[in-house]
A and B are shown apart, each in its own frame.
Chain A
Amino acid sequence: MKMEDMPLSGPDNTKLEALVHDIYSELVEDACLGLCFEVHRAVKQGYFFLDETDQESMKEFEIVDQPGVDIFGQVYNQWKNKECECPNCKRLIAASRFAPHLEKCLGMGRNSSRIASRRLASNNNTSKSESDQEDNDDLNDNDWSYGAEKKAKKRKSDKSQNSPRRSKSLKHKNGELGSSISAEAYKYSYNTGISYETLGPDEVRSLLTTQCGVISEHTKKMCTRSQRCPQHTDEQRRAVRVFLLGPSAPLLPSADTAVDNDSFDIPDGQTLLSRLQWEDSPDISPTDSASSKASTNHSDSRRPKKKKRTSLCLNSGGGGGGGGSLSGSSSSQSNISLVTKKKRPKVSAPSISSIYDDLN
């Protein structure tokens, strides 16, 4: 039967009202039933009385709502009365002064570490402002001298690292003076390298006959280690030679020819002698100025011999203080290095150009 057929809005309005009330009470009963189910389930699961506490504890933790008292019924403290104990020096500090004190006491922040440590060390109770003033003055002085010292040191080391001449001369001395200096020399002699653009064709040629010469991708400098340096492959060396000298470039010399190269300049006996001499000093040969880290192998140590020899005789001729101490004047050092480089333009670019000047 369809609802539309019903005479709902007919004359029997009371009937309709009764119907509406029925529906309403049904809905209310539904709601009641839902609540009953809910409560019953809660009871059976045991969580119905969970939120109940006994009357006493309810009273105990009642929220206090009175003026001048916080919700727990405690008297409200003014913040300025608060004092904190410094965890470092155990003194009581007013809360408003706590942060600045802590900064000083723990030695964080600017200027404070030495103040604090000194104060702790002396542990005196003199008036604060006075001691602060003193300490600050002291500190400033210290800072100044300390910084200056540091700067000076740094400058020095920079110079020595950047100057190829120095490193070169060190090498020679190294040869003369023995192994005691070589460690230091090694420190100075690493990572120079030659930029090939600054060299003339002859220089390039002579360089490539004696050194690895592979051009680094990063620094664009040539490797100044021996032709058998382990860092680069023969292919790389060949490619560099073709690139710099043209396709007619000589093939890479073998290990044997490298030795022969040595005797090219120097009479064999002398070479041998100097080699023996050289090999007495156990340390790395610093002559392979650039990246001498790997230069401990023997082919590397052969070249320095020659140099050393030449520099020796030339030095004696020139009357320079060639055998001087490591910290000798830089002028004499550069003198030496120039002399040697004339024989063998092998090291870094600037020194080579200076040789050229000399020759001209």
Chain B
Amino acid sequence: MSKDSQMRAAINQKLIEMGERERLKELLRAKLVECGWKDQLKAHCKDVIREKGLEHVTVEDLVTEVTPKGRALVPDSVKKELLQRIRAFLAQHATL
């Protein structure tokens, strides 16, 4: 278990060090905007905000409301592409 978490930390560090994490993030953002995910979530945000009232909205509220929906709404194609890239990165650097 400790070994597992150690490995996780090492991989994360490697991702950040190589700049791959940043690249993946940018790619995901672009893809999500492209497929309308962002607009869908924004619409959802609007509903949430109307419910709570404009003045009383907090970031925590938004996050709790939006994140599950956001996760669900990611198109399969985008998800697959991203997983593929992560796998490729791990394979490339694990064999070193």
Are A37 and B28 in touch, CB under 8 angstroms?
Answer: no
CB-based nearest A residue for B69: A32
Are A40 and B59 in touch, CB under 8 angstroms?
Answer: yes
A69 at the interface (CB under 8 A from B): no
Are A37 and B83 in touch, CB under 8 angstroms?
Answer: no
Across-interface contacts of A23 in B (CB, < 8 A): 11-12, 15, 86
Looking at chain B's contact residues, the main secondary structure is: helix
Q: With the chains together, A274 CA to B83 CA distance in Å?
A: 120
Are B86 and A20 in touch, CB under 8 angstroms?
Answer: yes
- From residue B25, how far is it (CB to closest CB) to chain A in Å? 6
- From residue B54, how far is it (CB to closest CB) to chain A in Å? 6
Contact A43 B54, CB 8 Å, known A1-B10, A25-B71: yes
Across-interface contacts of B28 in A (CB, < 8 A): 27-28, 31
A19 at the interface (CB under 8 A from B): yes
Contact A19 B11, CB 8 Å, known A3-B94, A8-B90, A24-B79: yes
A30 at the interface (CB under 8 A from B): yes
A21 at the interface (CB under 8 A from B): yes
Are A20 and B90 in touch, CB under 8 angstroms?
Answer: yes
Across-interface contacts of A9 in B (CB, < 8 A): 91, 94-95
A183 at the interface (CB under 8 A from B): no
Across-interface contacts of A37 in B (CB, < 8 A): 59
CB-based nearest B residue for A4: B96
- From residue A27, how far is it (CB to closest CB) to chain B in Å? 5
Are A3 and B70 in touch, CB under 8 angstroms?
Answer: no
Are B83 and A19 in touch, CB under 8 angstroms?
Answer: no
Are A36 and B10 in touch, CB under 8 angstroms?
Answer: no
A138 at the interface (CB under 8 A from B): no
Within 8 A of A (CB), among B54-84: 54, 57-59, 62-63, 66-67, 70-71, 74, 79, 82-83
Are B11 and A3 in touch, CB under 8 angstroms?
Answer: yes
Across-interface contacts of B96 in A (CB, < 8 A): 3-4
User: Given A15, A16, A28, A32, which contacts B63 in the complex, CB threshold below 8 Å?
Assistant: A32
A318 at the interface (CB under 8 A from B): no
Contact A27 B25, CB 8 Å, known A6-B10, A20-B83, A32-B41: yes
Of residues A6, A16, A23, A27, which shows the largest number of chain B Cβ atoms within 10 Å of its Cβ? A23
**Given contact pairs A32-B41, A32-B63, A34-B29, a sample of 11 additional A-B residue pairs in the complex whose CB atoms are under 8 Å apart:** A4-B93, A4-B94, A8-B7, A8-B91, A19-B90, A23-B86, A27-B24, A31-B29, A32-B70, A36-B67, A39-B62
B binding-site residues for A, Cβ under 8 Å = 4, 6-8, 10-12, 14-15, 21, 24-25, 28-29, 32, 38, 41-42, 45-46, 49, 54, 57-59, 62-63, 66-67, 70-71, 74, 79, 82-83, 86-87, 90-91, 93-96
A binding-site residues for B, Cβ under 8 Å = 1-4, 6, 8-9, 15-16, 19-25, 27-37, 39-40, 43, 48-49
Pairs across A and B, CB under 8 Å, 20 listed = A3-B11, A8-B90, A8-B94, A15-B4, A16-B87, A16-B90, A19-B11, A23-B11, A27-B21, A29-B70, A30-B25, A31-B25, A31-B28, A32-B41, A32-B71, A35-B70, A36-B45, A36-B66, A36-B67, A49-B46
